[in-house]
Structure 1
Amino acid sequence: MHQYGEKGSPDIEVDARSGTAVVRPHGEMDISRAQAFRQALFEALAGEPRLSDVVVDLQYLSFCDSSGLNVLLDARTAVAATGQRLFLAAPREQFLRLLEHTGTQHLFTIEPAPPF
């Protein structure tokens, strides 16, 4: 498992098993944390060996603004070019409202829970 953020208090965890990576952001996702989120997510997408699925586990994300959504939209574009699949899992109500208000809910496959 890789952790991004301060020692002892990871902002983002990445866990890869059996061809799938799960990226778990914690807390609030705003412009001050979007670059670390981008780094973690795109490193998971580019990892060797290439993973077929990347799941963003949103259950620990208490808030997300447009900067976090833009990272996810960029990742969606990247996976379309590689044949990988990107899923969102266990989003909270605030994140679902963000998708609804921005008209992007149809762009993502949303699962009720992460695979692990």
Structure 2
Amino acid sequence: MVRLTGEMDISRVDEVRALLLEAVTRVGGPADIVVDLSGLTFCDSAGLNLLLRARLQAVESGHSLRLAAPSAQMLRLLEITGSLPLFPIDTVQPGFGDP
């Protein structure tokens, strides 16, 4: 699981890129990589582009990239860009609300 907090914009994408790419390309790692967005307060097009690239890397590495607990702003960004169908979405924060 990768937890993102604060804002994911052009000023942070390099920092987050290394973290995400390491997670999605890890040999022998889990099949599903979950990106916990519950602490993310803002995401712009640079952040979305990073998630899309990480998704492609995950697929190429035999993994899937899931988004957990995205905010209304994040869901809207995914929706208006046509990216929403590309990501499995978990609406609750990982570890909470599980039976």
Please state which band the TM-score falls in when normalised by the shorter chain. 0.7 to 0.9
Equivalent of 1:104 in 77, 83, 89:
83
Q: Structure 1: where are the runs of 5+ without partners? A: 1-21
Q: Does 1:25 align with 2:4?
A: yes
Please say if residues 25 and 58 of structure 2, whose CA atoms lie closer than 8 Å, have aligned partners that are also in contact.
no
Shift in Å, 1:47: 2.8
Does 2:22 correspond to 1:43? yes
- Larger deviation, residues 38-47 vs 64-73: 38-47
Q: CA separation in 1, counterparts of 2:65 and 2:93?
A: 12
- Does 2:45 align with 1:66? yes
The answer to whether the 8 Å contact 1:24/1:56 transfers is yes
* Equivalent-residue separation in structure 2 for 1:79 and 1:29 (angstroms): 19
Report the TM-score, using the length of structure 1 for normalisation: 0.76
Query: Which stretches of structure 1, 4 residues or more, deviate above 2 A after TM superposition?
Result: 46-51, 113-116
CA-atom RMSD in angstroms:
1.3
CA contact (8 A) 2:2 2:36 kept: yes
Determine the C-alpha separation between the residues in 1 that align with 2:86 and 2:28: 26
Question: How far, CA to CA, are the matches of 2:57 and 2:19 in structure 1?
Answer: 14
Name which structure has the greater RCO, CA cutoff 8 Å, separation 6+: 2
After TM superposition, the score normalised by the length of structure 2 is 0.87
* Residue equivalent to 2:72: 93
